[in-house]
Amino acid sequence: MQFEAREHTPLAFLLVVPLIAVLCSMLFASLLIMWAGQSPLQGFALIFEGAFGSTFAITETLAKTTPLIFTGLAAAIAFKAKFWNIGGEGQLYCGALAITWLGTGMIDLPPWLMIPFLIMVGMIAGATILMLPVFLKTQLKVDEVVTTLLLNFIILLFVGYCLEGPLKDPMSMGWPQAAPIIDNGIFPQLIERSRLHIGLIFALLAAVITWAIFRFTLWGFEIRAQGLNATAARHAGIKPNWTILKVALLSGGLAGLAGVSEVAGLKGYLTLDISPGYGYTGIAVAMLANLHPLGVILSALFLASIFVGADFMGRSIGVPNFIADIMVATSVLCILIGLLLCKYRIRFNPRLSKTSSVNREVS
């Protein structure tokens, strides 16, 4: 068996690969559903119904899509420059913590100022915490995978401390939760009596802006160049440390924004479980989208619908909703294998193919 580099990747491949990946993950999940003693068809029908079956289901799915778009973009931007920011989760909580600190009464502005203010605060907080790994990487060459990953736990423990101590809401009857964000800072709902809030619009805007940055600006060009060939970028005068800094600011800011949107948009106050690992799932979102900012929207929607749908299926027929995690994992694996096959083709046992394969290649 040999891998051979393809000179051209057919466009159809790039479009079909995500679909095949999704199908493979469904195939795998159906085995598990059968193992749980249920019919896979019914299972998938329930997943679909749970995600898109009613207005409520759709709003729930979209509400879950929102933070995934933010964290997905955060990962996609960083990975484009080969800056491996695994700390989306921590940056998300930093954003959430910062607006809890400033937005629960310390500062009061009219809504049209308060919401942008909170967004800015959250982005700055997410970006700031990422400066530590950036400093360690650029000055001391410490691997950012380790530092960003481990920082997640430190931040999470710190948030836990804050919720039990200085930021604990005296009205919470003992629950470890912070005081609610003041009314002027709460994101307006998009649809009455749903959990869908204006954060989704911000997320879509963020995706479009990110796409535009990569396509139309100097920054985007430099980030892409550095990620694709750091040596050539350096030779062309693109300063590697500056590029990492820019990337980290964008990436950390977007992850922080996810925290803002969850606290000020969805829940209203900070708890230790505002994110069931959105920071980590964002990495899967970015991979599934092949790091394309607009693709992030679709892959975030896909993963959100699986999560929401699997919950519904779990409640209806008693299949554990862990199947959602397995589907996400298998689809990401399938996408990675699929992308490999986009770049290379496999030739089995070249000795048997002999001259016939030569003719085929030429024609």
Partner 1 sequence: MVILEIDKISKSFASVVANKEISFSLNQGEILALLGENGAGKTTLMNILFGQYSADSGQIKAWGKILPANSTDAALKVGIGMVHQHFTLAENMTVLENVMLGTQSLFSLRSDTRAARAKITRICQTMGLSIAVDSYVSDLAIGERQRVEILKALYRDAKILILDEPTAVLTPQEVEGLFEMLRNMQKSGLSVIIISHKLDEILAISQSIVVLRQGEQVAKISTSSVDRGELAELIVGKKVLQPITHQLPPGEPVLHLKDVNLFKDSKGKYQLKNINLILHERQIIGIAGVSGNGQRELAEVISGILKINSGSFEILQRDCRSLSIKQLRKLKVARIPEDRHSAGIVGDMSVWENLMLEDLGADPCWSWGFWIKRAAAKTRAEQLIKKFDIRCANMQMPAKLLSGGNIQKLILARNFQLEPKLVLANQPVRGLDEGAISFVHQQLIDAKAGGSGVLLISEDLDELLRLCDYVQVMHNGELSKAYPREALTPKLLGILMSGGQLDTTDTPQILSSGSQINAV
| Alpha-carbon gap, residue 280 to 74, rounded angstroms | 11
Closest listed residue to residue 254, CA positions, set 65, 75, 99, 63: 75
Contact call for residue 31 and partner 1 (CB under 8 A)? no
Task: Output the smallest distance, CB 244 to partner 1, in A.
Answer: 17
Q: How far is the CB of 101 from partner 1 (least distance, A)?
A: 33
Asked if 10 is part of the footprint of partner 1 (rule: CB under 8 A), the reply reads no
Largest CA distance in the chain: 81
b vs e for 297-312, b when ≥16 Cβ sit within 10 Å of the residue's Cβ? bbbbbbbbbbbbbbbb
For residue 297, the minimal CB distance to partner 1 (Å) is 23
Question: How far is C-alpha 21 from the geometric centre of its chain's CA atoms?
Answer: 18
Residue 228 as a binder of partner 1 (CB under 8 A): the answer is yes
Tell whether residue 160 is a contact of partner 1 (CB under 8 A).
no
Pick between residue 7 and residue 273 the one whose CB is nearest to partner 1: 7
CB 208 within 8 A of CB 133: no
* 209 near partner 1 (CB under 8 A): no
Q: Which stretch binds partner 1 (CB under 8 A): 66-74, 114-122, 227-235, 284-292?
A: 227-235
Determine if 39 is a binding residue for partner 1 (CB under 8 A): no
Shortest approach of partner 1 to residue 142 CB, angstroms? Answer: 20
Whole-number CA gyration radius for the chain:
22
* 6, 161, 164, 318: which one binds partner 1 (CB under 8 A): 6
Q: Is 241 in the site for partner 1 (CB under 8 A)?
A: no
For 345, the enclosing helix (H) or strand (E) is strand 344-347
Q: Distance between CA atoms of 203 and 197, rounded to whole angstroms?
A: 11
Residues from 341 through 360 that contact partner 1 (CB under 8 A)? 350-351, 353-355, 357-358
* Residue 208 lies near partner 1 (rule: CB under 8 A): no
Interatomic CA distance for residues 61 and 188, integer angstroms: 18
Angle, nearest 10°, between helix axes 55-80 and 293-317? 140
**Interacting residues toward partner 1 by CB under 8 A:** 4-8, 216-219, 221, 224-225, 228-229, 231-237, 239, 350-351, 353-355, 357-358, 361-362
